[in-house]
Amino acid sequence: MRFRKPSLEDKKRYIGFYIESEERLGRKEVLNELWSTGLSFLGEAEMAETGFWVHDCFDDQLIVEVRDGYVDEILAVVSLVNEIKNERVRLDLLGVAGTIRKLKKSFILNQEK
């Protein structure tokens, strides 16, 4: 089996979010809402292009993986999310980084919330 060279792989960006809500939300609910908002706002083709993938969702934090150059599109989608399962919610941007390690080190572990 032949692997693709690392230089040919798409560059990725990891975006960290803080989930601000009155009640704790499940991973599945957050994921469903993000996908449905993304599909309705950007459409199937552009959503595929962005390479959107929820990498991790723990406690009140969310790490999303996107293809480099599509960060703004995903931020626009995320800013449109304001309700999940009749629960008011806001996703605050923590930071954007090229690796998960850097994202966690710079933004997630240092945040004072």
Partner 1 sequence: MDHNKRYEICFSKEKDLGEFLKEAKGLNYSSFVFFEINDVLDIGEIETDFRVFKGIEIHKKDIGDIKSDISTYRSKVDYLAVKARDNRVKEVLSKDKRVDCLVDCFGRRNDFDYVVAENCKRNDVAIEFNFGKLLRCSGYERSMLVRKFHRSLKLVRKYGSPLILTMKPSTVFDLRGFREFFSLIKSIGFSKEDLIYSNNYFKRLIERNCEFDKDEFVEPGIEKV
Minimum Å distance from CB 52 to partner 1?
A: 14
| Residue 71 touches partner 1, criterion: CB under 8 A | yes
| Residue 93 touches partner 1, criterion: CB under 8 A | yes
Only one of the segments 2-10, 26-34, 57-65, 68-76 lies at the binding site for partner 1 (rule: CB under 8 A); that segment is 68-76
Residue 44's Cβ-side half-sphere holds a number of Cα atoms within 13 Å equal to: 0
3-class DSSP assignment, residue 22 = coil
Q: Figure out which of the listed residues 40, 53, 85, 102 binds partner 1, where binding follows CB under 8 A.
A: 40
Residue 76's Cβ-side half-sphere holds a number of Cα atoms within 13 Å equal to: 12
| Residue 20 touches partner 1, criterion: CB under 8 A | yes
Only one of the segments 2-10, 27-35, 67-75, 101-109 lies at the binding site for partner 1 (rule: CB under 8 A); that segment is 67-75
| CA–CA gap between residue 104 and residue 94 (Å, rounded) | 10
> What is the phi-psi region of residue 59: left when phi exceeds 0, alpha when psi lies from -120 to 50, beta otherwise?
left
Binning the chain into helix, strand and coil, the percentages to the nearest 5 are: 40, 30, 30
| Residue 92 touches partner 1, criterion: CB under 8 A | yes
Residues of this chain that bind partner 1 (CB under 8 A): 20-21, 40-41, 71-73, 75-76, 78-80, 82, 88-90, 92-93
